Chain A
Amino acid sequence: MDGGQDRGPPLLEVADLTVRFVGHEARVQALAGVSFSLRAGEVLCLLGESGSGKSVTLRALMQLLPPGRTEVAGQVRLAGQDVLALRGRALQAFRGGSVAMVFQEPMSALDPVYTIGQHLIEAIRQHRGGSRAAARARAIGLLELVKIPAAARRIDAYPHELSGGLRQRAMIALALSCTPRLLLADEPTTALDATVQIQVLILLRRLQQEFGMGTLFVTHDLAVAAEIADRVAVMYAGRIVEEGPVAAVLRAPAHPYTAALLASTVHDQAPDQDIPTIPGSPPDLGALPPGCSFAPRCALVRDACRIGPPPATHPAPGRMVRCLRSADVLATPLASLATGDYR
Chain B
Amino acid sequence: MLGFVIRRILFAIPIALGVSVVCFSLVYLAPGDPLQTVLPPDATAETIAIVRHAYGFDRPIPVQYLIWLWHVLQGDFGRSIATRRLVSLEVSGALANTAMLALFAAPLSFGLGAAMGAIAGWYPGRAIDRLVTGAAVIGVSLPNYWLGIVLVILFAVEFMVLPASGMGQSGSAAFSLWRWSDARFLVLPVLTLAMIPIGIIARSTRAAVAEVRGLDFVTTLRAIGLGEGAVLRHVLKNAAPPVLAVMGLQFGYLVGGSILVETVFTWPGSGFLLNKAIINRDIPVLQGTILALSLIFVATNLVVDLLQAALDPRIRRR
Contacts and interface: CB of A to CB of B under 8 A. Distances in A.
A-B interaction: yes
B313 A126 contact: no
Contacts of B64: none
B312 A103 contact: no
Contact of A64 (B222, B227, B237): B222
A108 B223 contact: no
A111 B225 contact: no
A44 interface: no
Given A108-B216, A126-B230, A174 B238 contact: no
Contact of A96 (B223, B234, B238, B313): B223
Interface in B59-85: none
Interface string A110-151: 111110000100110011000000000000000000000000
Nearest to B125: A68
B220 interface: yes
Contact of A100 (B223, B226, B237, B313): B223
Interface stretch (A87-95, A199-207, A247-255): A87-95
Interface residues of A, number: 34
Given A111-B238, A112-B314, A95 B225 contact: yes
Contact of A160 (B219, B220, B237, B314): B314
A177 interface: yes
A177 to B, nearest CB: 7
Contact of A123 (B215, B219, B225, B314): B225
A174 B224 contact: yes
Contact of B234 (A64, A114, A158, A174): A114
Nearest to B317: A160
Contacts of B57: none
B223 A95 contact: yes
Nearest to B314: A160
Contacts of B238: 111-113
A100 B224 contact: yes
Given A92-B225, A95-B225, A158-B313, A111 B230 contact: no
B217 interface: yes
B313 A97 contact: no
Interface in A173-200: 174-175, 177-178
Nearest to B225: A96
A101 interface: yes
A101 B223 contact: yes
Contacts of A123: 224-226
Interface string B104-124: 000000000000000000000
A114 B230 CA distance: 13
B138 interface: no
Q: Which of B215, B221, B312 has the most CB of A within 10 A?
A: B221
B3 to A, nearest CB: 16
Contacts of B216: 103, 105, 108-109
A105 B216 CA distance: 9
B311 interface: yes
Contact of A62 (B223, B226, B234): B223
A112 B217 contact: yes
B313 A113 contact: yes
A109 B217 CA distance: 4
Contacts of B223: 62, 64, 95-96, 100-101
A127 B311 CA distance: 26
B226 A113 contact: no
A111 B312 CA distance: 11
B224 A177 contact: yes
Contact of A113 (B220, B221, B230, B237): B237
A111 B311 contact: no
A297 B243 CA distance: 51
B159 to A, nearest CB: 44
A135 to B, nearest CB: 13
Nearest to B123: A68
Contacts of B220: 101, 103, 109-111, 171, 174
5 contacts: A105-B216, A108-B215, A109-B220, A110-B220, A122-B226
In the complex, the 9 A-B pairs of residues with the closest C-beta atoms, listed nearest first: A96-B225, A96-B224, A108-B216, A95-B225, A123-B224, A158-B313, A111-B217, A101-B223, A92-B225
Interface of A: 59, 62, 64, 89, 92-97, 100-101, 103, 105, 108-114, 119, 122-123, 126-127, 158, 160-161, 171, 174-175, 177-178
Given A111-B217, A123-B225, A174-B224, 9 more contacts: A62-B222, A94-B225, A97-B225, A100-B223, A111-B221, A112-B238, A122-B230, A126-B224, A127-B225
